Structure 1
Amino acid sequence: MWKILIIDDDFQVLEGMKKAIPWESIDAVLVGEASDGAEGLKMVRQTQPDIVITDIYMPVMNGLEMIEKLRENNFPGELIILSGYADFQYARQALRLQVSDYLSKPVTIEELGAVLAKVIKELETKELKKIEQEEVKRRLMMYEPFVQQEWLKSVMTGTFNETIAAESIQLSEQAYWLQRNHVVMGIELMSTVRTANLSLIDWNLFRFALANIIREILAEDWPESDFIELHSHHAAIMFHVERSSVTADAMSRIQLIGERITDCVLTYLRLTIRLGLGQMKESWQEISDSTEEAFLDLLQMSNIPQLKGDQLSTVPSEKELAIRPIKFYQELAEAIVYSKEEIAAQIVEAYINRLQSMSTITPAYLQYLCTELWTIFAYSLYSVGIVLDELFPEMKLQSEIIQIQTPEQLQQWLRGKIHIIATSRHWNENSKHKEAVDFMIQYAHDHYAEEISLEDMSKQLYLSRNYLNQIFKKATGETFTNYVIQVRMKKAQALLAEGKYLIYEISEKVGYKNVPYFSSIFKKYNGISPSEVSKSGL
C-alpha cells in the first residue's frame, strides 16, 4: 500500500483531506499528520511516506522550506502542494523544487483524486524501474564470472570491439590496466604417449587440473595477472606490470614463474607443457599482439619447417603478426560452435587471403594449421555435445592433411569439413540436444516456484549457457527465460481462478518474492492485473 503523510496547520483541512481521499480505491493508507514543516520533517523520517501533501504557509517552518530540506536529503517520494496562496512566486519556487503538483484551495474531490491517481502512477513506474534494475543487477552478478572470462578472452585474442571495450574498461575491475604494461605467456599442452588416447572428458579433467595449478602459482608469485583458457590445448597468461619496473627484471621474473609452472605440471600431472613469451606492451589494446608473439615464439619450438625456411625471426615482423593465428582460431571456433557456416567461410577466406600474400608459407606449415584446427574443432564441438569423430567415422585425418600443399587446398578442405559439421548438427538431429531441451522444459514445470537460470541448466547438462539458450529457442521459439515466465503466469492464472489465495501468496507460489514485480509481469502477459482478475472473478 502507498503511504501518505498530510501536513497542514488548519485542523479542518486535515480532517477534510482524510475524508476526501479515496484511500481504498488508490490502495493507500494515512501514516501520519503534522501542523508545521519542522514537525513534518520528523514525521517523514519516522514514517518514510511515498506521498507528502503539504500546505505552504505554516508556523515554525513553511512548506517550501521543508521541501527544500527534503530534497537536500534526497527524499525519494512524491510531493503535492495544497495551498490557499495562488501567488505565481510560490508556484515557480515549487516547480524549482520538483514537486509533483500544485493545487490551490479549495480543491474538489475530483481534482484531488485525479492528482493522486497521476502521482501513484508515477510511483508505480519508478518502483517497477527500480525492481527491474535490481533484477538486471542480480542476473549480471550471476553471470559475471562467465562474462568476465569471455571479455578477457576477447582482449587476449584481439576479437573485442575496441569502442565498447574502451568504454567498459573504465567501469570494470580492469581499470588498473590503464596504469600498467602488459605481457602474455602462451601455453601449449603437449600431446604425449600418456595423453594420445585420452577421451575428451579426461582431457578436460587434465585442463581443469592444469588451470588450478597455474592459478595457485600466479596467486602467490604474480597476483596482478589473468589466466585464460583458449581452445583445446592452448591457454595464456596476461601479466600486468608496474610501469616503474625494469622491463628486463620483470621478464626475468616471469620466465622463472614459467619454469615453476612447467615443473609443477610435470611433477603433479605428469604432463608436458611448452611456454612462449610475447613482448611487453604499454597499452591493453596491444595485449593481443603480445599473445600472437607468444604463440609465434611457441611455433619456433616445433619440429616443422616454419614461415621463413627452418626458423622464425626472434621478433615477428608486422606482416607476420597480421596473420594472427590465435585470433583466427578463436573466431573460427565460435562460428563452428554456433553453426554459422557462412560466417565461418568468410573467416577462412579472409585468413587464406592473408596467407597467400606471404611467399614464405610452406606446405608443412599449412599441414600444421590443419592439425591445430582439427583439435580445436573437436574440443569446441564437444563442449556443446558433438563428437567430431562420430561425424567423420571413416576419415583418415593424416592421409588427408598430407595432401594439402597450398593455401587454396587448405581453404577447400576447411570449407568441406565446416559444411558437413554445420549441416549435421541441427538440434533435432542430435538426440542429446533433444534430451537437453526436454529436460529444460520439464525442469521449468517442476521448479517454477524456485530460482531458475540458464546457469543452473548449464551446470546440470554440461553444455554452455549460450548454446543451451540457442537450441532451446530453436525448439520452442522462446528463450528459456521467457518460457519460465510463461509457465509461471499460467500457474498464477490457475491459482487466481481457484479463489483461495491472496495475491502475495500466489506471487510467492510462482517464484516471485516482490509482489509489485509479479503484478507488472502478470499484467504484461495477460493484459490485466491480478487484482482486476480477482475482482472480476475471471
Structure 2
Amino acid sequence: MFKVMIVDDESRTCNGLVKIIPWDIYGFVVVGTAKNGHDALEKFNTLLPDVLIVDIKMPNMSGLELIERIRSKSPSTRFIILSGYADFAYAKKAILLNVEGYLLKPVDEDELIYFLNSMKEKFNKELNYTQAKQRIDEEKKEKVIHAALSGDYSKVKPYKHYFNFPSYRVLLIKKNSEIREGLELIKELFGKHNDGIVFNTTPYTGVIVNNQQSLPILKQKIEKLLLTGLPKQSDFFAVLGGAIVNIEDLPKSYNDALDLMEKRFFLKEERILSSDSTSVFINDNDIDKMYEKPIELNSITDKLFYSIEIEDKDALERICVETLAQMVALNYSEVTIKRSCIELLSNIQNKVLHSYNDREVINYVYTSKIINIEKQENIEKVLRFMQDLLLEILKNVDMDTSDNLVKKMVNLIERNYSQNIKLDTIAEVLNYNSAYIGQLFKDHTGDYFNTYLDKVRIENAKKLLLEEMKIYKVAEKIGYSNVDYFHSKFKKYEGVSPSVFRKNNRKD
C-alpha cells in the first residue's frame, strides 16, 4: 500500500476526501490529515507519506511553498494539487513543480482515481527498477566477496570501497530450516547499523563483520542481534574467524571460521564459537598418557553394566566422561565417536534385557532411543545423552539391593557368576583400590572375593548336575571355560568329582 496524506485548512474537505473512495482497492491508504502547511511539515517526518494531496491556498504557507519545501528533502514524494477555482498562473507553477495532477473542488471521484492509477503505475515501475538495480548490485557484491575469499585480489581492487571497516572477521552462521527468510533476514539485521556485509556460502550464511570491539563484546553483540532479530523458533549457531586488517587477508579469517565449523563437535557449547572457545576434553601430556591404549568396548560395557548392577550413579557418569575423553585423546572422528557410543549403549541394552525379565526396563531401553545419539550436535550433548539414558536404566532396574557396598558386590556376583567377573574391574568401577575393597569383602563375608565367586559357581553347578546336564556344559554355564579346572574346583569344595556328586545325589 502507498501512503497518502491530505492537507487542507478546511476540515470538511479533508474528511470528505478520506471517505470519497475505497482507497485500499486502488493500492493506497490515507495515513493522516493536516490543517495547514506547518502542520503538514511536522507530520511528514513521522508519517512519511508517498503522496500528498495539497490545497493550493492556505494561510501562512501556501500549498506550492509546502510542495517546494518537501520536494527539497524528499524528491521521490508525489503531489496532487487541490484548488477552489481554475487559475492559469497556479496551474503553470504546479506544472513547473512536476505535480501529478490538478483537481478542482468539489473533487471528481473518477478524476482522482485516474491520477491515483497513474501514480501507482509510476511507483511500481520505480520499485521494479530499484529492486532490479539492487539485485544486480547484490550479485556484483557477492562475486566480489567470493573473489576476496578465494584470494583473487585483482577482481576485488576496483571495488575496495565495498569493504570500509577498520578491521574484519568472517562470521559463518549455520542455517536452520525454520529460518525461511534466511539470507535476506540476516542481511537486514546486519545492514541496519552497518554491522557487516552478508553473503551466501552454502551451506552457511556468511557475514564480513565490522570488528570494532573486543572479541567477547563482539560475540555478545552478534548473539544478541541474532537472538532478537531471527524468529523465536529458530535455533542457530555461528563461528567467528580471526581478526584481519587488510581485505587481502580475508581468506585467512574465512578458513579460520571453516576450521571452527569442523571442530565444533569437540568444543564447549556456545552460540558463537571463536578462537577463544575451548575443547570439552582438554588434551595434555598426562591425559594423553592415560589414554594411549586402544579402547576396548567390551571392557567398558562391563564397567557400565556393573555400575548399573550396584546402582552407582557417580561411577556411571564418571565412566562415560572417561570413555569420551579417551576417544578424543585417540583422535576419534565425530562419526566414530557416535557409532562407538551407539554400540556401547546397544551392548548395555542387550545385557539388561538378558539379565532382567522386566517389561518396564524393556520399555525404557530401546533402539529408537539409542540411535538419537546421531542427532546430538556436540560431544557435550553426546555425553549428557549417554548419561541420561544409562541413569534412566539404573532408575528403572529393580535390583532390591542394600546401600551397603559389600552387599552390592555379593548381589553382583550372584547375578553374574557366569561372566568373567574380576575384582580389579569392580574396584575400578567403584573408584576404590582393589586391595582395599578385597579386604573389605573378606571382612564382611569371611571369604576372599574369588573364593566367594567359586562357591557361588559350585552351588549353581550342583543344581545343574542334578538336571542331567553334560559336565562340560555345566562348566561353561557357570563361568569356567576349562572343564579340568572346573573338576579341580568342584572337588576342592565338595570333596568329590562332579560325576560322583551326581551319582550320589541322583534320585532313583
- Relative to the length of structure 2, the TM-score reads 0.30
Structure with higher Rg: it is 2
User: Which is bigger in relative contact order (C-alpha 8 A, separation at least 6)?
Assistant: 1
- Relative to the length of structure 1, the TM-score reads 0.28
